[in-house]
Amino acid sequence: LRVRTQEERKAGGRVFIERERESRESHILSLSRNYRIQKQSKMLSLRKLKSDPLAPPSDFIQMLLIGHRGVGTCQEQELRRRRCSELGLPLPLRFRENTLLSMMQAEKAGAHFVQFEVQLSKDRVPIIHHNFYTDDGRFVGNLTRAELQDCNEEDDDILHEQLYTTMESFFDFLPEKLGFDIEIKYPRQYKTGASVCPEFHWDLEDYVSKIVNSAKRHSIRSVKNRLIFYSSFSSDVCLALRRLYPECSTVFLVNHKEGHKYTDVHGLNGRSGLEFATSAYLQGVAIHSEELQPPKEGGRNPTEFGREFIHDCKRRRLHCLTWGPKNNSAEFRRLQREWGVDGVIYDNIHAERDDLAGLL
């Protein structure tokens, strides 16, 4: 046998190293959920995702409590006051939805996260507001930040009570331990061909990028440790978030009661939403809580539907969140906790201190 020269040994070593590098790269490229791939100047670098914001806060708290627009919608608060009046009970305080004061009250009541809707003003400022239109029928995207502030009533001079507040103020004034569920508002199209908001003119990726970049900038400036995840009823927004910001946690919102009205087939019901979240490599799905307890059919226990759906989410390593008026029932929230639901979004969180103590 001929002994290899030093040059041949070096060449063989380079071939071995090259093969190892190719094998390592192919393995790295197969990772799609937990890492973000960046290839710059012929070097492959990995950036691991941030800690999962939807993970249980502790070993003793397995289900996240998320305040819906703070301490709930104005409509739900009014219904609660009416019930209390009929029963002769003290009337609970009212807080305007999507205001700083409402968010602060949710945090005081023990909420881990608050949910709020974000859209852009005419001057590209992320504004907190649920509807695409103001109370007088004007499109939010056609008004500047200053014009939206003028829409507040004269007796709402206090910043914490103002509507159309900026997302920046939420980062500046709300405590660090309070997480954010940032729902990105985006109009969907009806099957008739009409749009939910015909005046909407933003490019999808530009619209999403402006909101997320603003959140990142304010998060770094104010609080770096705040837990944040994004959500949307639009599958296009979820795909844009996954494509542009794979390091961010994204949850797909589903409303089975209205999903049939839109062209987006992914939002028909919880099952279609679950399939979409799986294929798009999202972090979770948020369904209407009524889907966990459908009417009895054929004598079957309706709670089995809820257990099966949540088990399927766990099997696919997806987080399962729920929302809807039924979540205002403390007993139903306890039941969801037993099933393994990761988080509940509900109203009147500030009026359920006794129930919160039982959940925690």
271 with 174, same domain: the answer is: yes
196 with 245, same domain: the answer is: yes
Domain total for the chain? 2
205 with 183, same domain: the answer is: yes
**220-266, pLDDT tens digit by residue?**
776 668 999 999 999 999 999 999 999 999 999 999 989 899 999 99
Do residues 286 and 345 lie in contact, with contact meaning Cβ atoms separated by under 8 Å?
Answer: yes
The CA-to-CA distance between both ends of the chain, in Å, stands at 75
147 with 27, same domain: the answer is: no
Task: Give a yes or no: residue 1 inside a domain.
Answer: no
Give the span between the Cα atoms of 234 and 184, in whole angstroms.
9
Q: For the chain, what is the mean pLDDT?
A: 82
CA 223 to chain centre: 19
Do residues 360 and 110 lie in contact, with contact meaning Cβ atoms separated by under 8 Å?
Answer: yes
170 with 288, same domain: the answer is: yes
Cα 70–73–76 angle (5° rounding)?
125
Task: Give a yes or no: residue 128 inside a domain.
Answer: yes
Q: What is the structure's pLDDT at 14?
A: 56
Q: Pairing state of beta strands 179-184 and 126-128?
A: unpaired
60 with 19, same domain: the answer is: no
Give the span between the Cα atoms of 123 and 252, in whole angstroms.
28
94 with 13, same domain: the answer is: no
160 with 34, same domain: the answer is: no
103 with 17, same domain: the answer is: no
87 with 208, same domain: the answer is: yes
**44-61, pLDDT tens digit by residue?**
333 345 579 999 877 778
31 with 133, same domain: the answer is: no
Task: Give a yes or no: residue 297 inside a domain.
Answer: yes
Task: Indicate which CATH number applies to the domain containing 125.
Answer: 3.20.20.190
91 with 120, same domain: the answer is: yes
* Residue whose pair of structure tokens reads 């099933």 in the numeric block: 339
Give the span between the Cα atoms of 306 and 328, in whole angstroms.
17
Q: Give the range of the structural domain holding residue 20, as residue numbers without chain letter.
A: 6-46
Q: Is the pLDDT of residue 75 over 70?
A: no
